[in-house]
Amino acid sequence: MHEFLIIVAPCILTFLIPPTVLVFIPLEAFLIIASGLPVRPRQPPASKPLFVAYLKATTMLMTVISILAVDFRLFPRRFAKTESYGVSLMDAGVGATVFGMGVSAGFSAHNHRPLLGSLWKGLPVAAIGAARCAAVKLFNYQVPAADLNA
Amino acid sequence: MTLAVVIVTGNLAARLFGKANLGKAGILLIAAYEGALQLGGLSEYLDDQQVRASLLDKNKEGIFSCIGYLAIYLLACRIGFAVRLSSRRRALRDHLATISLLLYLAHYATSATFGTSRRIANSSYSLWIAALGCGHLAALLAVQLLAGSRLQSAILDAINQNQLLVFMAANVATGVVNMTMQTLLMSNGQAVAVIFIYTIMITGVAHAYTAK
């Protein structure tokens, strides 16, 4: 899947070796335009313009890479989640996810969800949060005190 | 947990105030929260690592950071609303970039005075995330404008359609990797290899699930 090489691989390398991002930005621009990513009709007709939908996807991609990469020595330390003060890449990941949800919500057709509907949708997320709490307690997983955010 | 609270409260706010007003609501919330932090002694309470008696104390950062995250959600909602309403894409891209810059300036200003904290999601953090998000959106829009309608990505589509699955799979895979390998002891080359394989697997899972 040549897409992986164009989109995902540079992302990984950029995280691990930050200066390479300077090389990659023009390279990416060239590749995306010149390679002609396969044109497929979107299976359901697009309800959102591409760039809106890809906000969440790219955020998720960066999050997925980071949560594993942070466990290696190669990952730049300054990108890892901060303890108290300061900014870093992974700090942004949490907020960016929330931002993406907000944009999706703001973009959706109806002015507001019926309250019960949004409660219902919130349930899986809340359940996962609760399950994570329970699992952490059960397995005695190492939790730094500043991480009690569920 | 925070996410669930934020989504429910955010939707409630959208109902009460109307989406167009959420921008002001978000800014007000940020200001109010920072006010409480600085003037109301909330900052000392949250910084105190010693006393964690009640259930509220033990989770105080999580609970109060909801406010900051809610602010982000409200601002993002307003932006999404504006995006939907806009018809001219080039103008939109420029507007988003400008808003992003303004938010960045606000972030630096608050960062210099109050400091930035993800833990409690203070004003500087909320503004920073909003700035990043706007900038991200502007950049994606710029790319789409450059590439035209040919732009389509199977991987990103697959991720979009199975977000929760991808996230869970990634978390599980990270756990598995950590339990089976000594990641801190591996060489650089091995680290890169593992990360690549892991990412390939995750994107593969997303893709396979979509094809079903």
The minimum CA-CA distance between A36 and chain B, rounded to whole Å, is 7
Rounded to whole angstroms, how far apart are CA atoms B6 and B3? Answer: 5
**Predicted model pTM:** 0.74
pLDDT in tens, B133-189: 888 888 878 777 766 655 566 566 666 767 777 777 777 777 777 777 766 666 666
| Higher per-residue confidence, B144 vs A47 | B144
Percentage of chain B modeled with pLDDT above 70 = 67
Residues 69-108 of A with CB under 8 A from B: 69, 71-74, 81-87, 91-92, 94-108
Which 3 state secondary structure label does DSSP give A92?
A: helix
Cβ distance B17 to B25 under 8 Å?
yes
- Range in A38-47, B52-61, B135-144 with the lowest mean pLDDT: A38-47
User: What would the mean pLDDT of A104-109 be, rounded to a whole number?
Assistant: 74
Query: Which residues from A are below 8 Å from B151, CB to CB?
Result: 32, 37, 50
Q: DSSP string of B42-71?
A: HHHHHH--S---SHHHHTHHHHHHHHHHHH
pLDDT at position A103 over 80? yes
Residue B131, chain A, CB below 8 Å: the answer is: no
Query: Which residues from A are below 8 Å from B200, CB to CB?
Result: 4
Q: Nearest-CA residue of chain A relative to B176?
A: A68
- Range in A110-124, B120-134, B139-153 with the lowest mean pLDDT: A110-124
pLDDT value at residue A135: 60
Cβ–Cβ contacts within 10 Å for residue B205, how many?
Answer: 17
Closest CA to A96 of A135, A117, A66: A66
Rounded to whole angstroms, how far apart are CA atoms B199 and A109? Answer: 34
Torsion angle (degrees, nearest 10) of CA B154, A51, A95, B34: 180
